[in-house]
Amino acid sequence: MELVMQKVNKAFKEKKVINNFSLHIHSGECVGLIGPNGAGKSTIMKMITGILQQDSGMIKLNNKEMTKMKKAVGYLPQYPTFYEWMRVKESLIFMGQLFEIPDKTLQQRIKELLHTVGLENNEEDRIVTLSGGMKQRLGIAQALLHKPTFVILDEPVSALDPVGRREIIQLIQQIKNNTTVLLSTHILSDAEEICDRFVILKDGELVADTNNEDIFGSRFQNTLSIELVNEDIYIEELLNKQTYVKNIKKQHDRYLIEVTDIDKNKFDVMKIINEKRINYKKIEIYRENLEDIFLNLVVKK
């Protein structure tokens, strides 16, 4: 399932919320849409599902208008909503019937999904009695009910406790094996864990489109990260004298030491630190992670 968005614009009254946004998601990809609150993540997702109309630009799924592809798309909104007077199973039956799933298949599918999202013991509970986390799981079940080939998940784990979050992450990892997934989140470690590709948004504009290879590719750059127990002003002076040190940068509570050859010089740096008995918390080869990229692009820009 392939999604193409080209030069999409959207404004609410006078305020432009999406500006010339283009995105191409290939079949089988799992893409994380990342951005601070108000960046336009939910608006983009709502335009893809057809809940909102774009002011200009094109959105197509497998080269067809989204309105003709509803059966292929599963959508979990940021705040899943249901007819709260319904029971869990009843709600899924209602949704399944809207997709015209045959009764027998639907019953079987509901059983599977309730087990997958951990609600098999709650199928007769009224939705109004469910906790926020349980509603989120039911929302995921509802989005996957018709076996969509393109799944859109808007902040799927934001309302969950750590245990629930872990379970949902595992669930998404399962579904991404045979489904194209677009998920939005502001929990960057989750995105990094689940997605293969990251699209970073700021003020409705695309500021970066990167993937795991780019991020992990930077792992072997020639930089060491040193976190000290106490701030030691001499470390900079000490290391600056070394010919193999190219640059020293202090970032938050760590020093980033750029050297000429990481494989060789990491032992030299360790030797100096041990000889001078400098207390450290952690020494590691620095790799730029998603958070660094995000902070760099979104906060500093």
Partner 1 sequence: MKQYKVLLKKEWKQFLMEWKIIWFPIVFILLGLMQPVVTYYMPLLMETFGGSEGITIDPLVMKQTSGEVLASTIGSQFDQLGVMVIVISIMGMIQMDRKDGMLDIILTKPVSLISYVLSKYSSHLLLVLFSISVGYLISYGYTVFLFDPIPIQNVLLGFAYYSFWIAFIVALVLLMSAVFKQTAILAISSIGILFMIHMMKGWNRILDLLLPSTISAEAMNQIITGQGSEIFIHIVVTVLWSIILIYLTVQKLSIRKE
**Binding footprint of partner 1 on the chain (CB under 8 A):** 12, 46, 49-53, 70-71, 73, 75, 77, 79, 81-83, 85, 94-95, 97-100
Q: Cα dihedral angle (202, 204, 207, 213), rounded to 10 degrees?
A: 90
Report, in Å, the least distance between residue 216 CB and partner 1.
Answer: 35
What's phi and psi for 199, nearest 5 deg?
A: -115, 115
- Scored b (16 or more CB within 10 A) or e, 98-109 reads eeebeeeebeeb
N-to-C CA span, the chain: 34
Report, in Å, the least distance between residue 79 CB and partner 1.
Answer: 7
Report, in Å, the least distance between residue 98 CB and partner 1.
Answer: 4
Q: In the complex with partner 1, which residue's Cβ is closer, 72 or 248?
A: 72
Report, in Å, the least distance between residue 15 CB and partner 1.
Answer: 11
Q: In the complex with partner 1, which residue's Cβ is closer, 38 or 217?
A: 38
Q: In the complex with partner 1, which residue's Cβ is closer, 17 or 226?
A: 17
Q: From CA 38, how far away is CA 35, in angstroms rounded?
A: 8
Look up residue 243 and give its amino acid. T
Q: From CA 42, how far away is CA 48, in angstroms rounded?
A: 10
Report, in Å, the least distance between residue 204 CB and partner 1.
Answer: 16
Query: What's the Cα-to-Cα distance from 28 to each of 3, 45, 58, 85, 259, rounded to whole Å?
Result: 11, 18, 21, 37, 39
